Structures are given as structure tokens and as C-alpha cells.
A and B are shown apart, each in its own frame.
Chain A
Amino acid sequence: MAELLEFQNVTKVYSRGVLTKTSTTALNNVSFKLSEDEPTIMTVAGESGSGKTTLAMLMLGFIKPSSGRILYRGKDINALRGEERLTFRREVQAVFQDPFAVFNPFYTVDHLLSVPIAKFKLARSKAEAYEKMVEALTAVGLRAEDVLGRFPHQLSGGQRQRINVARALVLRPRLLVADEPVSMVDASLRANILETLRSLQRNYGVSIIYITHDLTTAYHIAKSIMVLYRGSVMEAGDVDTVIKQPQHPYTRLLIDSIPWPDINRRWGETEIKAKESEINDHGTGCKFQARCPFAMEQCAVPPPLFRIHDHQAASCYLHEQHPQIASEQLSELMPA
């Protein structure tokens, strides 16, 4: 089975300072695979500072990993040249968080959609380009006559975000990296955008990496999930299992902090031990130990991943009794 995208022990360290180097590990030894044959939706979840945006930047080739390799269809994305690089650029697309900031206010929607078509020479004539635009807009549930010829300020946030998805879609991508695509959109429009993303995966065979801190939407859209904290994988696996029966104390804290729109489910049964902002030293061991209510002595050594079920693994000594797995094996338990 061919891999569409593969992270092999990827680590990203940001360093600063000339004489006294201080470094921050934004991503620590992350491995996963996305299969080429079965398009899927994988969620990468975590708070700010968890490394989820670094992951997106790495995936898009904007920054290079400090160690490890990122392969796209078997080739290192940072070694791609010429034609191959162009194909990579076309097939891997992104949708970002803020639908208000990514548009150039001087251009109409037509411009935004036609530039990529022209750039990648996807159409031979103007009519064909127009057809492609209409097709992409229809796929995201917009009527071409409603949006073409309009300026960004004449569109609602939800429409803009869907146009961003359409822009990615004209290029016929294989992989879409969606970094918090709905966090700035009205709740009533979120459903529409998520539905759009899901139909891309189903009908157009696009794999999606859905990056978010919102586990509610993650649960609804994704098949698998990877929870990051300070650059390390805390828990990963099937989205249903992880969200309904979280095993890592951090995942539990996250899920317990979701304000569920359910009047019978009260907020906050797990106590928040320490405030994130008050922890300066995350130490060398488990990154979560300073905030963890179950912290033990052995947490000073970083815990490996323990496979709890077929489709769930957590990096926590509380689950020591389960078989240990290497981080490269993580993708084996992610459902496609």
C-alpha cells in the first residue's frame, strides 16, 4: 500500500540566541502515515503551543524538520525539484484559520480562483477556466452567480471560508491541510463548512488533516485523532474511542474542559491542577507531569506509547501494563 504522506520521526527545534542558545522543541519525534488508497480525515488536536501549527507548516514544506523526514508519495518533500515540486505544491493545499485576513481586498473572487488555474496551467481557454471555477464553487455549496464578481467585503465569513476551500479544490489536491478552518466562523455556519470538508473526502478523494483545538468538531468530522501537548504525542487512535474513553490525563482534561452544549452535562469534573502559564520548566520527562494529577516519580523519564486497544495508544505510565510500541508504529493503529 502506497503512502500519500509519511512523517518519519520528525522533530522540529526552534533555537534562538547566539551565545547562550535556548531552544524550544516544537515537535518531538512524531511519526504517522496517510495511505494513498483510502482518503481519510485525521485530526491533530492540542492547545496553543502544542506544535499543531508547526506540524502544518512542516507538512506544507514551509519549514524544514530539524531531524527526521517527511515523505510525500515516497519522496522527501524538501528534496523535491522542478516538476515534482510543482506537483507537490498543487496536490497539497491549505485552508487557514482566518477567512477575513487571507483575501486581498482589491481583487474579486474571480481573481482568487483564476490565479491558481493560470499558474498551474490547468485550463486551455477562459471558458474552461470558468467552468472549473463554477465546478469548484458548486462542490462547496455556493452558487457561482452569488459570488463571482464580488469583492471579499461583500461576502460573509462562511462564504469566504468556503471560497478558500473552493480555491484549494480547483487544483484537484490529494491532501488538504485545514488549520482551524471553523474557529472564526459562526456556529450556524460551522456545520456547512464541516459538511463541505467531509464531502471533499468522500466525493473527491481528498485526504484531510484537520488541525484544531476544538474536540467537538474533531469528533464529528474525523476518523482518527492525534493529541499533541508541547510537541509530543499524548494520545492517538480512533476518534470515537479517544473522545469517549480518553486514557491520557491530558486528553481527559481537554475533553472535560469542552463546554458541551448539553444542559445535563456539567463542566469541569477534573480539577485543573496548575495553570499552563505558571509552568516554566517542562523538564526532560513527560511534558505534562507538572499539570498532571497522577504524576509519579517515573514520569521524569519520557513515557513511551502504550497500546491500550487495537485503535488507541497513550503516552503515559498509567498504562504500563499494556504493550509498548515505538512511535513509528503509531500509524498502524490509526483507522483509515
Chain B
Amino acid sequence: MKPVLEVVDLQVSYYTDAGRARALDGVNLTLYPGEKLGLVGESGSGKSTMALAMMRMIKPPGRIEGGKVIVGGTNLTELSEEGMLKARLSKIAYIPQGAMNSLNPVLRIGRQMIDAIKAHEPKMPKSEMEERSIEALNSVDLKASVFHMYPHELSGGMKQRVCIAIGILLKPQVIIADEPTSALDVVTQRQVMETIDHVQEQIGAAVILIGHDMGLMAQFVDKVAVMYAGRLAEVSPVRDMFLDPKHPYAQALINSLPSLENKGVFQGIPGLAPALLRLPSGCAFHPRCAQAMDICKIERPELIHMGGREVACHLYTSEAPERIALETADRSE
């Protein structure tokens, strides 16, 4: 199967008065049709920058400095502005954080949907546009009457579903959802996620879900990518990630999760996220890492493949074979 999305060595920097902040530093990612990937990390780890970079929506002082974003064979970074305008929504769609606030309050929902289609297919007859919009509304479980409503007549969850409907109007191959449910209640959240799941299956798109709610990740995605300071720390299938995280940061993240068994135990991750302007040397996580070694301060670990997973940590590079041997010995006991 051919991958639907390939991100190759993506680099994004923000130029501020205080210097250059590397928000994304060589990120590689591959996604197949129908796959659901969760992108997690603390605020400032580069999750949202990643989404914006894939959409080519990074604004100055930020700049994409290198790398490729290939969607269905087209390299988005090489497209003209005009071409990119066409590619957005038709190849790759973005549901931003708090998308429900992005609806225009003085236009009816239908008008906003038709505007989106018109931008891509100006010659399509109006009746067909309307038909397609209503079809999209139906697929997110909204009644056709919503087409004639104004945003203020809808609840938060319904507005969020309208935004998803707009996102899938042109049947994109990749849908990026940046914390699509962070402002919603649990029950509505479940409905919205079920909606995304359902339409994703219908149009066979790949989904990237960005967020820090690990619960949502456990329930929704197939694969989890953990970001730390603009780089991927670990990419693993969701089961492996939750049952046996490899990277120490991923381990801390999983251990900090509340469950019904460990009532009253609050295990935060010590320390603060590093400032991108002054990244620690070597592995950016080493000042907070309980298993840090000397090499971690000097050399930056590269992402290595380990049986279907990818981890960037010196614990698993060849420099520390005795450590791995020790660990396997521990486990066999």
C-alpha cells in the first residue's frame, strides 16, 4: 500500500528578537490510508506547529526551512501559493483548536459551506453544491435544517460537527484535527470523536489527532507519536505505547495518567518543558530524565527502528548494549 502522507525531515524555525527557535527539527512521519495517528506532547513541543507546517500555514516570524510534505504523491512544499490554496481542503484538511469559534456569526452555515466548495469548484452548479453540503452535514449526524441556520443557533458540539463537515466537503486524503474536543463535555466529546471515526471510514482518509489527552488517544488512534521539544521521541502502535513505552519521556507521560486503580497518586513529570530558544545540549530531555547517561548530554539521539516502533533514546542505541542486556535480563526474571 502506498502511503497517503509522507513528512520528510520537516524543519520549522521562528525568528524572534531573542534568537532562533527551532519549533520543528527534522520530523519524519509516514501515514497510510485509513490510519489514525495521535500526536501528543506538552504545550510548546511543536504539535500545532507540525499541523500548521503541513498545511503551509506558518506565518512570519516562522518559516519552513526544509523538508517535504507529500500528500498522495504531491509535494505540498513545492506548490505555488495558488496550488496550495487548491490543495487545502481537497487534499489535506485542518480542523483547528476551538474550530467552532471560527464560524462566521453573520452567515448561515450553508453559505459558509458553499463558499468552501466554490473556492475549489467554481463551475459546479449551485444545486449540486447544496446537495453535497447537506450530505456532509448528514454524515456528521446533523439535520439538513442546520444548513439554513446561523452559528448562534447551534450548541458547541454541533458547531464542532459543522466544522468537521466543512473539513470533509471535498473528501481530503488527510484530516488534521488539533484538539477537536478540548472545549467540549465528555458526552459531546464522545459523539464528536465517533463522528470523526465514522466519516474517516467513509472517505478512507488518514487522520492526525493532535492533543494531550492520552485517554482520547487510547480510545481513538492506531499509532501514537510523542513529541518533545520539536522532535519525535517515540512513535509506536497505541497498544505498545500504553503497555510498554520505551522512551523515558513517554514512560513518564504514561505513568502520570490517572486510572481507577491508583487513586490519589499524582505522578507529574518533574521539571519544566525546555525553552526552544535555549535547548539543552544532546538529548533535550536529559535534564528531566531519571535514566540520563553521560552520552545524553553530548550527543542527540536519532530515531531508530525497533520492531515496528521508532524511538529516539540512547538507552536503545548500540552505544549502550550492556544496558539493553540488563533490561532483558530483568524482564526474563
* CB of A122 closer than 8 Å to a CB of B: no
Q: Are A244 and B260 in contact (CB under 8 A)?
A: yes
Contact between chains at A268 and B218 (CB < 8 Å): no
**In the bound complex, what is the Cα–Cα distance between A11 and B41 (angstroms)?**
43
Instruction: Output the nearest chain A residue to B45 by Cβ-Cβ distance.
Output: A186
A263 at interface (Cβ–Cβ under 8 A)? Answer: yes
Instruction: Pick the most buried of B154, B219, B269: most chain A CB atoms within 10 A of its CB.
Output: B219
B residues in contact with A220, CB < 8 Å = 258, 263-264, 266
0/1 string, A267-301, CB within 8 A of B gives 1:
11000100111000000000000000000000000
Chain B residues in 8 Å Cβ range of A259: 186, 189-190, 193, 213, 215-216, 218-220
Tally of chain B residues near chain A (CB < 8 A): 46
Query: Are A194 and B220 within 8 A (Cβ)?
Result: no
Contact B215 A261 (CB under 8 A): yes
Task: Given A47-B187, A156-B273, A188-B269, decide whether A262 and B218 contact each other with a Cβ distance below 8 A.
Answer: yes
Is A192 interfacial (CB-CB < 8 Å)? Answer: yes
Task: Identify the stretch in A56-64, A250-258, A314-322 within 8 Å (CB) of chain B at 4 or more residues.
Answer: A250-258
5 nearest A-B residue pairs (beta carbon): A259-B215, A191-B268, A191-B266, A47-B185, A277-B155
Write the nearest CB–CB distance from A266 to chain B, whole angstroms: 7
Measured CB to CB, the nearest residue on chain A to B215 is A259
- How many Å lie between the Cα of A257 and that of B213 in the bound state? 14
A96 within 8 A of B: no
Contacting residues, chain B, for A191 (C-beta < 8 A): 256, 258, 266-268
The answer to whether A186 touches B43 (Cβ under 8 A) is yes
Bound Cα distance from A216 to B189, whole angstroms: 15
- A-B contact number at CB 8 A: 120
Per-position 1/0 for B235-268, Cβ under 8 A of A: 0001100110000000011101111100110111
A194's partner among B154, B266, B273 (CB-CB below 8 A) is B266
The answer to whether B135 has its CB under 8 Å from any CB of chain A is: no
Contact B215 A277 (CB under 8 A): no
Q: Are A258 and B191 in contact (CB under 8 A)?
A: no
The residues of A that contact B43 with a CB separation of less than 8 Å are 156-157, 186
Question: Given the complex of chains A and B, what is the CA–CA distance between A214 and B182 in angstroms?
Answer: 11
Q: Report chain B residues within 8 Å CB of A188.
A: 42, 212, 252-253, 256, 268-269
Given A221-B264, A275-B191, A277-B155, 10 new contacts (CB under 8 A):
A186-B43, A188-B252, A213-B185, A216-B215, A260-B219, A260-B260, A261-B215, A261-B217, A261-B254, A277-B154
B214 at interface (Cβ–Cβ under 8 A)?
Answer: yes
Is residue B110 within 8 Å, beta carbon to beta carbon, of the partner chain? no
Bound state CA distance, A221 and B272, in angstroms?
A: 23
A216 and B257 CA atoms in complex are apart in Å by 10
CB of A189 closer than 8 Å to a CB of B: yes
B230 at the interface (CB under 8 A from A): no
Q: Which residues of A contact B157 (CB under 8 A)?
A: 275-277
- Minimum CB distance partner of A188 in chain B: B269
Chain B residues within an 8 Å CB radius of A214? 186
Category for how many chain A residues contact B: 35 or more
Is there contact, CB below 8 Å, between A257 and B256? no
- A327 contacts B by Cβ under 8 Å: no
List 25 interface pairs A-B (beta carbons < 8 Å), by A numbering.
A156-B272, A188-B212, A195-B266, A195-B268, A216-B215, A219-B260, A243-B260, A254-B186, A257-B189, A258-B215, A259-B189, A259-B193, A259-B219, A260-B218, A261-B215, A261-B217, A261-B258, A261-B259, A267-B219, A272-B187, A272-B191, A275-B141, A275-B157, A276-B155, A276-B188
Is B283's beta carbon under 8 Å from chain A? no
A253 touches B187 (CB 8 A): yes
Contact residues in B for A216 (Cβ distance below 8 Å): 215, 258
Q: Is B96 an interface residue (CB 8 A)?
A: no
Which residue of A213, A219, A268 contacts B258 across the interface (Cβ within 8 Å)? A219
A270 to chain B, nearest CB (A): 10
> Min CB distance, B219 to chain A, in Å?
4
User: Do B269 and A47 touch (CB < 8 A)?
Assistant: no
Contacts of B238 in A (CB 8 A): 263
A48 at the interface (CB under 8 A from B): yes
Chain B residues 63 to 86 lying within 8 A of chain A, measured CB to CB, are none
CB pair B242–A262 under 8 Å, yes or no, is yes
Q: Given the known A-B contacts A214-B186, A216-B258, A268-B190, are A263 and B263 also in contact in the complex, defined by CB atoms under 8 Å?
A: no
The reply to whether the CB of B121 lies closer than 8 angstroms to some CB of chain A is no
Given A192-B266, A268-B190, do A262 and B259 touch, yes or no (CB 8 Å)? yes
Q: By the criterion CB–CB under 8 Å, are A266 and B268 in contact?
A: no
A215 at the interface (CB under 8 A from B): yes
Please judge, given known A-B contacts A191-B268, A195-B266, A276-B155, whether A263 and B189 are in contact too, CB under 8 Å: no
- Chain B residue nearest to A45 in the complex (CB): B186
A217 located at the interface, meaning its Cβ lies under 8 Å from any Cβ of chain B in the complex: yes
Question: Would you call A2 an interface residue if the criterion is a C-beta within 8 Å of the partner chain's C-beta atoms?
Answer: no
Most B CB within 10 A of own CB, among A192, A198, A253, A259? A259
B194 at the interface (CB under 8 A from A): yes
**A187 close to B (CB within 8 Å):** yes
**Which residues of A have CB within 8 Å of B252?**
188
CB pair A187 B256 closer than 8 Å: yes
- B158 near A: Cβ within 8 Å? yes
Give A172 to B158 CA distance when docked, in angstroms.
43
If A186-B43, A216-B258, A262-B242 touch, does A267 touch B266 (CB 8 Å cutoff)?
no
